[in-house]
Amino acid sequence: MTRLATLLTTIAAIAGMAGCVTAGSEQARNGGEPNMTEHTPPAAACKAAAAPDDALIGKSEQDVTALLNGCPWRVSERDGKALPGTMDYREDRRNLGIQGGKVIWVRRG
């Protein structure tokens, strides 16, 4: 009887771990965090590439979204809270800091 109990406990533990792996995979397929959106269109579509990054500071998030249409960008910080993102470096991507709906900083990479 002890072996049966051990076997059932082991099966339950393995099934529980498999459920965790499935849940994590499902979250990855759904995009993970809702605020972890990276906007990466084709490089040729970026019309704001020549504009200086400082020109975006002080503008509303909606205005910047329209200005960066076609450019790779993402929100890296919102209201003082750092958001998750990939660690790859991309010169053309703008990382934005948003405070109260306005852009307070822009960094490349």
Summarised one tens digit per residue, pLDDT across range 22-46 is 444 444 444 554 455 666 555 557 8
Same domain? 45 vs 97: yes
Same domain? 54 vs 21: no
Residue-range definition of the domain harbouring residue 61: 35-108
Same domain? 25 vs 55: no
A 10 A CB-CB count for 55 gives: 13
**Hey, which bits of 50-109 come out as E strands?**
73-78, 81-82, 94-99, 102-108
With 90 as the cut, is the pLDDT of residue 79 above it? yes
Contact (CB, 8 A) for 59 and 43: no
Same domain? 39 vs 92: yes
Total count of domains within the chain: 2
Give the single-character DSSP code of 60: B
Return d(Cα 27, Cα 25) in angstroms, integer.
5
Same domain? 66 vs 102: yes
Same domain? 20 vs 71: no
**Where is average pLDDT lowest: 10-14, 60-64, 84-88, 105-109?**
10-14
Alpha-helix residue ranges (DSSP H) falling in the chain: 2-29, 61-67
Same domain? 21 vs 56: no
As a whole number, mean pLDDT of residues 43-56 equals 79
